[in-house]
Structure 1
Amino acid sequence: MSSREEVVARGGTVRLFANELATQFRRWRTWAMLAALALIPVLIGIAVRLVGGSSPGRGPAFLDQITDNGLFVALAALTVAIPLFLPLTVSVAAGDAIAGEASHGTLRYLLIAPAGRARLLIVKYLSAAVFCLAGTVAVVTVGTIVGMVLFPIGPVTLLSGAQVSVGEGILRLLAVAAYVAVSLLGLAAIGLFFSTLTNVPIGAMAATAILAVTAQIVGAIPQLDALHPWLFTDRWLDFGDLLRAPIVWDSFGANAVLQGGYILVFGAAALARFLTRDVLS
């Protein structure tokens, strides 16, 4: 391929990605899922405001600290959203990527474009990855706003006992949001693979969500601890190191490597399946 052809191809990929994002964020379903995620910190904040905080050790992590500092609304909401709600919405976004186009009869027309199958698959995955980030940011942003409105805001006491300013506390929240978004990238790759196997989007969505729940169940069984390090869910809640002084990035790096492995394996499987698939619709 000549340099001119490479530039044209790269420009086509950027346009395809931009169109995919525009399509995704024009859908009512996407905004409904983001609204549902944003509702989690709202409900937590209102409940704590009306009833009061829980005793230490009861309820989700950070729930007992909300009345002292509203920034913990976002952290409590994330710990609630990570096991079920975030994986469920990511399963919908990734599982619909290819199967949704096939079910609507638009996949064949997309493949007529110069982008090709491999490039289309990459764009679909990147779009799902953007949703992973959008969902996490929605929880953290709304949680921070709710916390500021309903509760006092002040220096944040970290897990190590040290205190940091409000500004640094918000930066720590953003780091946690990035950690959670990275945690969901492996699941998005799995959903994309399932999406290449069927023309029925609900089947790919359900399979992805069920696998996420199953992996967490396996991760909770001590007798299966030999499998735990290999589960894509194993490090979903290990963001505590970002809430210590000084910050320890080991967990973030290990989580990124784990998710990267799933992206490579299931991305390759999705590519192999999609490149050899007969597209009739």
Structure 2
Amino acid sequence: MSQVETADAVDEAGAAAEVREPGPLWTLGLFRSELTITFRRWRTLALLGVLAAVPVLIGIAIRIETSDGGPVGNGGGEGPAFITQITNNGLFLVFAALAATLPVFLPMAIGVIAGDAIAGESNSGTLRYLLVAPAGRSRLLLAKYATACAFCLVATLVVALSALVVGSMLFPLGDVTTISGTQISFADGLMRAALIAAVVAASLTGIAALGLFISTLTSSGIAAMATTVGLLITVQILDTIPQLHGIQPYLFPHYWLSFADLMREPLHWDEVLRNLGLQGVYAAVFGSAAWARFTAKDITA
């Protein structure tokens, strides 16, 4: 082979290497593609529709219950007891709706999306074709997890915005009385609501990583989704058994409702930070497990 032919071969190999090594912009394009596909699915839209309906049902139920001037709930100021404040200020419907959906509805929706991320592609026969493109398994997995986290944020915002609209239509708005008994302005209350929505979305990143890991273990999307939701229910039950108090602080849903501390004056961050740290640990552990499994998996479909 002549020197010219050798140089041409080297140039062709270099060009091929450039194709096989996609840059950051290509990775962002992969994430954008995954995001578009996920949010165009009827299943995703149906899940968001159900989540948006929860604040509507809560608001209408409270409006009907208090139409005769009677009280609602049993007081206390935290978690579901935010409901007792809704008739005085519709902004509290945001907090009550997030508290009502966080234990079950939101994580179940995340479990469906994350559980289907890899297993659904394998079941439909598209996973192998995705890997034929210059994506790389690590980049594809990262794009899938980023999409699941984006869904965490969107789902939380859907609940919060639906509750804000319904609360403003059915109940008065004004200055907000915190759990500590002090008053803050409505603008400050809106900022607290945005902060709480962000914390709730971050609280779901642990279950998203767990669902993604389970999705790499099977080729059945339905099995992955069912397993993720089943584990969620099991862990929720374990978190309510008093005899297991020793392990409960390490269960991912244990501090989910700690966002109520952000409605105190001043803000109480201790349990909120524990919650965020715990979700980070779950995301790191199960994200690494998903990467280890997916990069070594024999893709046949």
Gaps of 5+ in 1: none
Alignment pair present for 1:116 and 2:136: yes
Alignment pair present for 1:204 and 2:217: no
**Range with greater deviation from structure 2 (115-124 or 239-248):** 239-248
The equivalent of 2:105 in structure 1 is 85
**Deviation per residue, 1:28-73 (Å, 9 max, x gap):** 1111101100100000111111121514249932111111110111
Look up the SS of the partner of 2:23 in the other structure.
helix
Q: Distance in 2 between matches of 1:152 and 1:106?
A: 51
- The count of corresponding residues between Structure 1 and Structure 2 is 279
**Deviation per residue, 1:126-145 (Å, 9 max, x gap):** 00000011111111001011
Per-residue deviation, 1:105: 0.6
Alignment pair present for 1:47 and 2:66: no
The equivalent of 2:23 in structure 1 is 9
Look up the SS of the partner of 1:70 in the other structure.
coil
Look up the SS of the partner of 1:189 in the other structure.
helix
The equivalent of 2:274 in structure 1 is 254
Per-residue deviation, 1:218: 0.9
Gaps of 5+ in 2: 1-13
Per-residue deviation, 1:5: 8.5
Q: Distance in 2 between matches of 1:216 and 1:279?
A: 34
Contact 2:21 2:134 in 1 (8 A): no
Contact 2:216 2:294 in 1 (8 A): yes
Look up the SS of the partner of 2:81 in the other structure.
coil
The equivalent of 2:40 in structure 1 is 26
Instruction: Specify the structure having the higher radius of gyration (Cα).
Output: 2
Per-residue deviation, 1:244: 1.0
The equivalent of 2:165 in structure 1 is 145
Look up the SS of the partner of 2:252 in the other structure.
coil
Contact 1:108 1:279 in 2 (8 A): yes
**Deviation per residue, 1:79-126 (Å, 9 max, x gap):** 110111111100000001000101111000111111200110011000
Contact 2:20 2:134 in 1 (8 A): no
RMSD over equivalenced CA pairs, Å: 1.8
Q: Distance in 1 between matches of 2:246 and 2:226?
A: 27
Per-residue deviation, 1:249: 2.6
Question: CA distance change for structure 1 residues 91 and 65 in 2, over 3 Å: closer, same or farther?
Answer: same
Q: TM-score, normalised by structure 1?
A: 0.95
Q: What is the identity percentage for the equivalent residue pairs of Structure 1 and Structure 2?
A: 51
The equivalent of 2:294 in structure 1 is 274
Alignment pair present for 1:186 and 2:200: no
Per-residue deviation, 1:173: 0.7
